[in-house]
């Protein structure tokens, strides 16, 4: 079985889908690996490293696309590449299936089995394949460092002969994987940290990291079976905004992480809240690319609003491309390995498997994912 790893074409993307470490494991399992020349350079992996573990490093991208029985990549493909793929192959990557109906239709027409990495269910068995969590972990770390670099003061308390410097106040809104890592990183840097989440059950996790949990009475809230926060009512959202307004005004750094899978994220920090912050303060909007939690944030850019720096760069894990690639590559390897048949040296997909039922979008010319099928296209 040929497994292809083409380069990522998205501007500024430095990560690579498969690292030499995991290519070596697939080669040992009996796979023939095709890697596009230069694909790992920006994340610190040379072509020679891939050759040394048994991969074929090819210059011709189209050869990789047309020969591969399985395609492993990070970002969703350009729709123009779909008809170059081997008919009936397996394609595994992020797909953004809720917002890419034309791409999903192209996969269907080419009879490709398209697997969406962001739709891997959050279960104990699938943790090792959960790319959303692995990349969010790094993102939570990175955004704190970016905020610290922009803040015109230090994070920790410092006692000097010239006087005592008080610790910076950091407020993290949304305590999922990224939020928890942001809290942990800010604490390690010496900041005074407060966290908030609509799921009161995470309060203990926040406190276990040495941070304070902001209590806001929102009434009945909860989480999905996958552990995500459920969407608030308009009334609850207004209660949240009012409840966190004072905390935002006294914070040096605010980090927002709230996203609702498949939908536009809620606006949590409004312009009047920004105006109430001290000049020099920093806000990081981790949801800027998908619509934003912060009024005035710009996807892919850092802007200054009334003296407050608002960072909306996005693609946060890409800042640490080497480690992000290692983690994503392990997620991919674990997914392939779960369904690898050593007798035929091939991926054999079991469509009764609960993991695959959650993440396969198209197969044999049909849209098979129930959630995607229900979308009004």
Q: For the chain, give every domain's residue range.
A: 2-129+320-367, 151-314
CA distance linking residue 20 with residue 322, whole number of Å:
12
Q: Kindly state the DSSP code that residue 154 receives in the 8-state scheme.
A: -
Residue 198: its pLDDT value, please?
A: 83
Contact between 292 and 285 under an 8 Å Cβ cutoff? The reply is yes
Residue 328: its pLDDT value, please?
A: 98
**What is the CB neighbour count within 10 angstroms for residue 235?**
10
Residue 146: its pLDDT value, please?
A: 98
Residue 304: its pLDDT value, please?
A: 98
Residue 188: its pLDDT value, please?
A: 98
CATH classification of 151-314 is 1.20.58.1610, yes or no? no
Q: Do domains 2-129+320-367 and 151-314 have the same CATH topology?
A: yes
Residue 227: its pLDDT value, please?
A: 53
**What is the CB neighbour count within 10 angstroms for residue 145?**
14
Q: Kindly state the DSSP code that residue 13 receives in the 8-state scheme.
A: -
Residue 39: its pLDDT value, please?
A: 97
Contact between 136 and 181 under an 8 Å Cβ cutoff? The reply is yes
- Residue given tokens 């034309």 in the structure block: 102
Residue 331: its pLDDT value, please?
A: 98
Mean pLDDT of residues grouped by 10 in the chain (377 residues)? 97 97 98 98 98 98 97 96 96 95 96 96 93 97 98 95 95 96 98 91 93 83 59 77 90 93 86 96 96 96 98 96 98 98 95 94 94 75
Residue 108: its pLDDT value, please?
A: 96
Residue 332: its pLDDT value, please?
A: 98
The pTM (predicted TM-score) of the whole model is 0.92
**What is the CB neighbour count within 10 angstroms for residue 263?**
12
Q: Kindly state the DSSP code that residue 190 receives in the 8-state scheme.
A: T
- Ramachandran sector of residue 159 (left: φ over 0; alpha: ψ -120 to 50; beta: rest): beta
CATH number of 2-129+320-367: 3.40.50.720
Reading the block at residue 323, the tokens are 């480690």
Residues that are catalytic: 122, 127, 130, 133, 228
């Amino acid at each position: 079985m040929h497994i292809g790893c083409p380069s990522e074409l998205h501007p500024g993307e430095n990560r690579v889908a498969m690292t030499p470490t995991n290519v070596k494991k697939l080669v040992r399992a009996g796979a023939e690996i095709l890697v596009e020349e230069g694909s790992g350079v920006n994340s610190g992996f040379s072509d020679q490293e891939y050759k040394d573990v048994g991969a074929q490093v090819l210059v011709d991208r189209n050869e990789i696309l047309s020969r591969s029985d399985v395609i492993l990549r990070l970002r969703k493909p350009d729709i123009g590449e779909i008809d170059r793929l081997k008919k009936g192959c397996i394609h595994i990557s992020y797909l953004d299936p809720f917002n890419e109906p034309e791409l999903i239709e192209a996969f269907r027409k080419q009879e490709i089995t398209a697997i969406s990495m962001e739709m891997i269910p959050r279960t104990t068995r699938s943790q090792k394949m959960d790319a959303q969590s692995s990349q969010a972990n790094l993102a939570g770390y990175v955004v704190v460092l970016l905020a610290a670099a922009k803040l015109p003061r230090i994070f920790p308390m410092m006692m000097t002969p010239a006087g005592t410097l008080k610790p910076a106040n950091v407020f993290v809104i949304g305590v999922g994987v990224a939020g928890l890592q942001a809290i942990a990183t800010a604490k390690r840097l010496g900041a005074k940290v407060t966290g908030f989440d609509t799921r009161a059950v995470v309060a203990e996790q926040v406190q276990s990291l040495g941070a304070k949990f902001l209590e806001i009475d929102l009434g009945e809230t909860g989480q999905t079976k996958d552990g995500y926060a459920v969407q608030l009512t308009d009334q609850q959202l207004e209660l949240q905004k009012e409840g966190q307004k004072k905390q935002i005004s006294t914070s040096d750094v605010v980090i927002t992480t709230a996203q609702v899978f498949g939908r536009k994220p809620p606006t949590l920090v409004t312009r009047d809240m920004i105006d109430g912050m001290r000049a020099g303060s920093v806000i990081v909007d981790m949801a800027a690319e998908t619509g934003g939690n912060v009024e005035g944030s710009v996807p892919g850019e850092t802007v200054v609003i009334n003296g407050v720096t608002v960072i909306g760069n996005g693609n946060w894990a890409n800042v640490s491309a080497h480690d992000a690639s290692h983690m994503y590559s392990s997620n991919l390897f674990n997914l392939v390995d779960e369904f690898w048949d050593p007798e035929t040296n091939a991926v054999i997909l079991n469509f009764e498997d609960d993991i695959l039922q959650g993440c396969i979008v198209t197969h044999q010319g049909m849209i098979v994912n129930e959630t995607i099928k229900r979308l009004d296209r």
